[in-house]
Amino acid sequence: MQLTDKTILITGASDGIGKATAIECAKHGATVILHGKTVPKLEILYDEITNAGYAEPIIYPLDFDKMTPEDCDTLNDVIHKEFGKLDGLFNNAGWLGASSPIEQYDIKLWHRVIQINLNATFMLTQACIPLLNNEANSSVVFTLDEKNTAYWGAYGIAKAGLRSFMEILSDELEATKINVTGLIPGSVRTSFRTRAFPAENPASLITPEEVAQAATLLLSDECHVINDELSHGKIFQLNELLPSH
């Protein structure tokens, strides 16, 4: 699996799955654009990648909570100026908000969770489509989650919307060279998971590095055909990409 000469934007790269995927993509030759809102964490990741001898990444801090279409246009301009194209977009950033019954859910918090998990991803993806629609193959990968039971509130709604967004986008881009897929990683050992399930034994969970292997595959040229079938528009469970799971 080679990502040499590819430029890949990874949202939510400060921690967890995003961080592990940034390292994995860089390991396979990609230049990664590290998105997140916590600059010190991104700087630590930058040092880890460069110290390993991989291609120098780019840090691009952006707060999804406050992001506007104009911010996305600026990001588009920066990527176009630096690289002229984009080979991969990993839509991974997310925020739990709070586990609360709908009847008691704080309305301002609801709007923030929908903004971060769904609206910001839509705006960013829309801005990146012209960069992705280049002569070479490119990929958009969504980290998805299935949370449609009690107390998942705005997070569950946003993730359901994100799945629909991914499916609509894949249908609209079917005739292009942009490959759109989704990944449902399952229960992963992250700080996000710990906040949602504080009593859970982390030793029983999948590691971010394992998820990163699957995400990197979907961001590579090899992702266009998986198990002898075209992958465009498909949603994968982790065990479909890493048979040992």
Q: pLDDT (tens digit, 9 = 90+) per residue, 86-138?
A: 999 999 999 999 989 999 999 999 999 999 999 999 999 999 999 999 878 99
Confidence of residue 231 (pLDDT cuts 50, 70, 90): confident
Torsion, Cα 18 202 95 83, to 10 degrees, reads: 0
pLDDT at residue number 225: 78
The residue annotated as part of the active site, out of 46, 54, 60, 155, is: 155
pLDDT at residue number 135: 74
Residue 22 Rama label (left phi>0; alpha psi -120 to 50; beta):
alpha
Give the contacts of 232 (CB within 8 A, at least 6 positions apart): 170, 174, 179, 180, 181, 224
pLDDT tens digits, residue range 164-184? 999 999 999 999 999 999 999
Quote the CA–CA distance of 59 and 94 in Å, as a whole number. 18
Quote the CA–CA distance of 226 and 224 in Å, as a whole number. 7
Residue type, 1: M
The structural domains of the chain, with segments of one domain joined by +, span 7-238
226 beta partners:
229
Q: What are phi and psi of 202, to 5 degrees?
A: -65, -25
pLDDT at residue number 193: 64
pTM: 0.93
Whether the pLDDT of residue 230 is over 70: the answer is yes
Whether the pLDDT of residue 190 is over 70: the answer is no
Give the contacts of 236 (CB within 8 A, at least 6 positions apart): 181, 182, 183, 184, 214, 218, 226
Whether the pLDDT of residue 245 is over 60: the answer is no
Using alpha carbons only, give the angle 184, 103, 197 rounded to the nearest 5 degrees: 40
Quote the CA–CA distance of 67 and 161 in Å, as a whole number. 19
Q: Say whether 155 is catalytic.
A: yes
Q: What are phi and psi of 120, to 5 degrees?
A: -65, -40
pLDDT tens digits, residue range 198-222? 766 667 678 989 999 999 999 998 8
Say which CATH superfamily domain 7-238 falls into: NAD(P)-binding Rossmann-like Domain (3.40.50.720)
Using a pLDDT cut of 70, give the percent of the chain over it.
91
Q: Output DSSP code: residue 188.
A: B
